[in-house]
Structure 1
Amino acid sequence: MSRAFVKEDGNDLEPLPDLPLSPHPNYVTPRGLTALQTRLRDTQERLALLRARPDRLDKLPEAAAERDIRYLEARLRSAMVIDPAQQPLRAVAFGLSVVVADEAGVESRYEITGEDEADAAQGRIAPQSPLARALIGAEVGDSVIWRRPTGPATLEIVAIEHPA
């Protein structure tokens, strides 16, 4: 094989494209801000370990860590911290926990958090989600329509609380 087509230096790996940033305001809870800061620190530590490897032929993990650091730094720069403890409990709002009952009377709890903190398995939803948009502004006793892909659902607001 001709050496003319073999790349030997491997030092010119282009940076990976940046991860897309949300066009929405970056509201975060204090817990969400701490989580972003922790993720950034952990990613910076991982990058330092990758750069300290004796065999650095594969630079892709380093490029991925650098990309993730750029994303996390951008999210931290744009973060607008809202403390749920300072939110009044009159209506559903960012950072608050809400208990709803569906048409069958089954209760569920949701907490409206920042996008980076959202986790459906823990009942944490982003403010831009269809469920959060239906809930925000509602008061205890109100019924709201949650427009789901499987069809609309009516939910009654049972309680509005500060998260535990």
Structure 2
Amino acid sequence: MSRAFVKESTGELDPLPDLPISPHPNYVTPRGLAALKDRLLARQADLQALRARVERLDKLPEAAAERDIRYLEARLRSAIVINPAEQDGRTVGFGHVITVADEAGGTARYEITGEDEADAKVGRIAPQSPLARALIGAEVGDEVVWRKPSGSVRLTVVAIGLP
């Protein structure tokens, strides 16, 4: 076999590709900013521990930690902190907790947070989500239409509050 097409290895890993950065503005709550900082400190500590290992044959965990650190540093540089307590509480906005009622009479609570803080399991949604887009700007008593892949749902804003 010809050696012309064989890549010589230096023993070092090529850097892992960077994690994708959202094209949307990086709005964060004060809690979200603190969480990003905590995640960065944790990954920096992880990297330090990985570099202190006696056996360092597997460099992939270090490369992953370096990639995560680059991502978190970029998210912190682009963070636009919005304190929900400083906003008008009459209309739904970023950082607010919204209680809605559906047509069947069921209620649910959602909090509009930054993308890195969003977690559907606990009702935290990103401002770019279809539900958040339907809710932003609504007032108590307003009816909004949440367009879902399974069909549209009508929701009534019952309450607007702070986390």
TM-score, normalization by structure 1: 0.93
CA distance in 2, matches of 1:98, 1:132: 10
Counterpart in the other structure of 1:65: 65
Counterpart in the other structure of 1:134: 134
Unaligned 5+ segments in structure 2 are: 1-5
SS in 1 for 2:104: coil
Counterpart in the other structure of 2:157: 157
Counterpart in the other structure of 2:88: 88
CA distance in 2, matches of 1:66, 1:44: 8
SS in 2 for 1:116: coil
Counterpart in the other structure of 2:122: 122
Deviation at residue 79 of structure 1 after TM alignment = 0.1
Correspondence 1:44 to 2:53: no
Q: 1:9 to 1:57 in 2, by over 3 A?
A: farther
1:117 maps to a residue whose letter is: E
Higher deviation after alignment, 83-92 or 25-34: 83-92
Counterpart in the other structure of 2:97: 97
Deviation at residue 8 of structure 1 after TM alignment = 7.7
Correspondence 1:13 to 2:7: no
Correspondence 1:28 to 2:31: no
**1:27-80, CA deviations, whole angstroms, 9 ceiling, x for partnerless residues?**
000000000000000000000000000000000000000000000000000000
CA distance in 1, matches of 2:9, 2:116: 40
SS in 2 for 1:145: strand
TM-score, normalization by structure 2: 0.94
CA distance in 2, matches of 1:8, 1:67: 21
Counterpart in the other structure of 1:144: 144
1:154 maps to a residue whose letter is: R
1:40 maps to a residue whose letter is: L
Deviation at residue 149 of structure 1 after TM alignment = 1.0
CA distance in 2, matches of 1:9, 1:162: 54
Matched length = 158
Q: 1:141 to 1:8 in 2, by over 3 A?
A: closer
Q: Is the 8 A contact 1:87 1:96 kept in 2?
A: no
CA RMSD of aligned residues (A): 1.4
2:146 maps to a residue whose letter is: W
CA distance in 2, matches of 1:9, 1:57: 13
